[in-house]
Structure 1
Amino acid sequence: MFLLISLCMCGLLLRGDAQDQAVMWRGNDRSGQCQYTFTVPSPIEASCSQTTGPEVDSLKARVNMLEVTVDRLTTAYPGGTHAAGGPPTAGDRGSSWQYRPPGFQELKATVTEVPAPGSDGSTGCGDLISVGEPVTHRKADNIEGKYGVWMQDPEPVSPYGSNMIWRIDTIGSDVRKLFGYKDMEQLSKGFPSKVLLLPEQVESTGATVYRGSLYYQRRRSRTLIRYDLASETIAARRDLPHAGFHGQFPYSWGGYTDVDLAVDEQGLWAIYSTSKAKGAIVISKLDSHSLEVKKSWETNIRKSSVANSFMICGRMYTVASYTAPDTLINYMYDTATSQGKALRIPFKNLYRYNSMIDYNKAQRKLFAWDNYHMVSYDLRLGHQHAI
């Protein structure tokens, strides 16, 4: 929004060689109201010899036009559309704007806020724009919970509902306990409604739940396991081809995080590396039933150089640091285009030791495990195009 207003100001207020001399401030006045203050040097006058004249009258006219346009933009911005070709009114909620003052280049922009998944039948996919402040839900009770993974099935299957929370504490010589909580409130109170003993030990914090199954890496191996939560049995197992394991290609914090399983709008993924990739992150799309690799992508970012990663809409995002209180989501790889790019999206490690980050598409949140604490982050996804 601020960008659109700034562009509009430039188009309305500045001409020719005076464009790069304008200065603008935004702040509250003494009564607390927001004001925009700007100065535009005159291209033809060295000093003000009079307070009226055609130049002043022209400036006043342009300022009036600016005020009208800013009012239209702030009225139109909340979302939706207004009548094509007509100016927005107080009742309009247009998410696009178009203004064509005489003698200036047309500016056109479209800003779309993506609705929550399922609200209109769409997947709700979009670029990651921002990550909110961390919200703490629970602190683990003992040393076994310094690192861990907590999950919520985005497509639950009976007998467990959409509110069910699953948790694994991952420190110990025999990590096999899976705790289930009927909702977030019971998690915060520490009252599990279900405790399952997994038939195979869990390796690190890369597990996830999807469509009624727990997916995890078996300890000291590249074997992936699909554990059916309803029958409490192993439904599938398969080696992830050539994947490093047990400390060969972990994230920067270590913890045997060689294989990281993730779920997004497109299904089940594995994030790992191989000797052939020389430590660079490999992303594989998995069949959620058989665990077979359907397609793989090799990125140009080393797995050991990032603290963690997660998938949203077929795109992998990496987090730069697991200890810095103010770090960045610093890289994105899009499997649709097979292209990666650097990012600078702020991200906070509230407790300064983040060992697990996963995306939940149903909640549109990131779940994380930060130094004994189970925390979540709200996300903002969207598309922005300018012509």
Structure 2
Amino acid sequence: MRGLIVLVTLACLASAQHQALIDYLERRLLAIEDRISLWHEQTTRYASELRELKQQMVSQLENLDKEKETLRTSLDGVGTRVDRVERELDYLETQNGAQPCVDVDDKLIEQQVTLVKEKQRSKYLKLSDCSDMISSIKAMKILKRVGGPKGMWTKDTSKASGKVFVFNGTDEDTILEFPSVQDFTRSPGTSLSTGLTLPSAWKGTGHVVYDNHAYYINQVQEISVAKYDMKNNSMTDSAVFPVQDHLPVYGLNPDTPIDLAVDEEGLWAIYATRQNERHISVAKMDPKSLDIEQMWDTNCPRENAEGAFVICGTLYVVYNTKQPGRSRIQCVFDVNGMVTNEDAPLVYFPKRYGSHSSLKYNPHEQLLYAWDDGYQILYKLIMKKKLEI
């Protein structure tokens, strides 16, 4: 009997413990459910806040885009005004000051006129009646950017040709030919061009296209001028330039040993030698035979020179700084003795990107074809007559 009582007592105790364990587990499960419910509410709230934040950021980004566009429009307007101010400054800089009111003796005037005439008779015999000289730069137009930082582009300077020729780089052998300036401008890169491979690579950026021929500088052992027929795709002639101890013609463009130029009177070569190492020299060439007709040593320094061109027998040398700034025509040399540095206006080019690697004059359009840090630029020139009073 007593054993039965013990068994009943133990069963009751076990049942109580089991119930207590079940109650404990139920409480824990309820606590976990409460926490899960809380986490769910917090997650929902965070997701809602994130959506609101995203909407706010999208709205702010749209406002920033609008403000950016407004700022860009304002900057374009400021740039236009700055360009206009620069052009006005260019105009003022190129104007000659008022002449002093001084009475000059008539005999002295006659002596000066006689001296000028004698100089003209003793100088180079002109091939044409061209008497234009630069007065100022009227406008600048940036067409596009194609190619490397250095190169040359031009038209056939002997006639009103529509084709555009691009010499990209300073040591290549393939000329790119575009049917027109419009095709060159609208072409994605060089896709509308035709490649013309030369028999040898050119050196520097001092080349020209003249009367359906490419005249380019070649340097293997000696510096020579090569003449290539672009119609028949054949080498016409090549001649060693008859000067010893060459130096790069421009202090700021050491890749160019000789710079060829074309004007109203024909073909020219701009060069430098150790015998006259501080200054630039110029020579008149026969475009048919590549013979040198006459040579001149100028007073135009090589130091800080970046390029040059010839108009009506007058050499215009363009200068800059080692840290590219604003280019300017600072020295002129007229082979006919009609223009001096004192007579020529100081012409500034509009501010651009860097410095010119080439400047090619087209006498039919009175335009300069310039290459500036990979940008192809046109400069429209305003002319006046030499010895104009």
Shorter-chain TM-score range: 0.5 to 0.7
User: Counterpart in 2 of 1:152?
Assistant: 155
C-alpha distance 324-305 of structure 1, shift in aligned 2 (>3 A): closer
Q: Deviations for 1:256-309, whole angstroms, at most 9, x for unmatched residues?
A: 212000000000000001222234211100000111100011112222341111
Does the Cα contact within 8 Å between 1:287 and 1:294 map onto a contact in 2? yes
User: Counterpart in 1 of 2:41?
Assistant: none
Cα drift, residue 366 of structure 1: 0.6
Q: Between Structure 1 and Structure 2, which shows a larger proportion of strand residues? A: 1
User: Counterpart in 1 of 2:318?
Assistant: 319
C-alpha distance 189-243 of structure 1, shift in aligned 2 (>3 A): farther
Matches within 5 A, 1:3-152: 125-141=131-147, 145-152=148-155
Does the Cα contact within 8 Å between 2:285 and 2:294 map onto a contact in 1? yes
User: Counterpart in 1 of 2:303?
Assistant: 304
User: Counterpart in 1 of 2:287?
Assistant: 288
Does the Cα contact within 8 Å between 1:222 and 1:244 map onto a contact in 2? no
> Which structure would you say has the larger RCO, counting Cα contacts within 8 Å and 6 or more residues apart?
2
Does the Cα contact within 8 Å between 2:152 and 2:358 map onto a contact in 1? yes
Does the Cα contact within 8 Å between 2:139 and 2:381 map onto a contact in 1? no
Does the Cα contact within 8 Å between 1:272 and 1:303 map onto a contact in 2? no
Q: Between Structure 1 and Structure 2, which shows a larger proportion of helix residues? A: 2
Residue segments in structure 2 that go unaligned for 5+ positions in a row: 1-127
Query: Residues of 1 paired with 2:296 and 2:388: CA distance?
Result: 30
RMSD: 2.3
C-alpha distance 167-243 of structure 1, shift in aligned 2 (>3 A): farther
Identity %: 25
Cα drift, residue 194 of structure 1: 2.0
Query: Residues of 1 paired with 2:287 and 2:259: CA distance?
Result: 15
C-alpha distance 243-192 of structure 1, shift in aligned 2 (>3 A): farther
Structure 1 runs, 4 residues or longer, greater than 4 Å off: 322-325, 384-387
2:200 aligned with 1:200: yes
Other structure's SS at 2:378 match:
strand
Residue segments in structure 1 that go unaligned for 5+ positions in a row: 1-121
Other structure's SS at 1:258 match:
coil
C-alpha distance 273-305 of structure 1, shift in aligned 2 (>3 A): same
Query: Residues of 2 paired with 1:280 and 1:176: CA distance?
Result: 30
Q: Deviations for 1:67-106, whole angstroms, at most 9, x for unmatched residues?
A: xxxxxxxxxxxxxxxxxxxxxxxxxxxxxxxxxxxxxxxx
C-alpha distance 212-386 of structure 1, shift in aligned 2 (>3 A): closer
Matches within 5 A, 1:158-237: 162-171=161-170, 175-190=172-187, 191-220=191-220, 221-237=222-238
Q: For residue 347 of structure 2, what is the amino acid of its counterpart?
A: I
Cα drift, residue 348 of structure 1: 2.6
Length-normalised TM-score, structure 2? 0.61
Q: Deviations for 1:86-139, whole angstroms, at most 9, x for unmatched residues?
A: xxxxxxxxxxxxxxxxxxxxxxxxxxxxxxxxxxxx966412100133211120
Length-normalised TM-score, structure 1? 0.61
User: Counterpart in 2 of 1:329?
Assistant: 329
Report how many aligned residue pairs link the two structures. 255
C-alpha distance 243-334 of structure 1, shift in aligned 2 (>3 A): farther
Larger Rg: 2
Does the Cα contact within 8 Å between 2:252 and 2:304 map onto a contact in 1? no
Other structure's SS at 1:146 match:
coil
User: Counterpart in 2 of 1:55?
Assistant: none
Q: For residue 379 of structure 1, what is the amino acid of its counterpart?
A: L
Matching residue within 330, 350, 353 for 1:351: 353
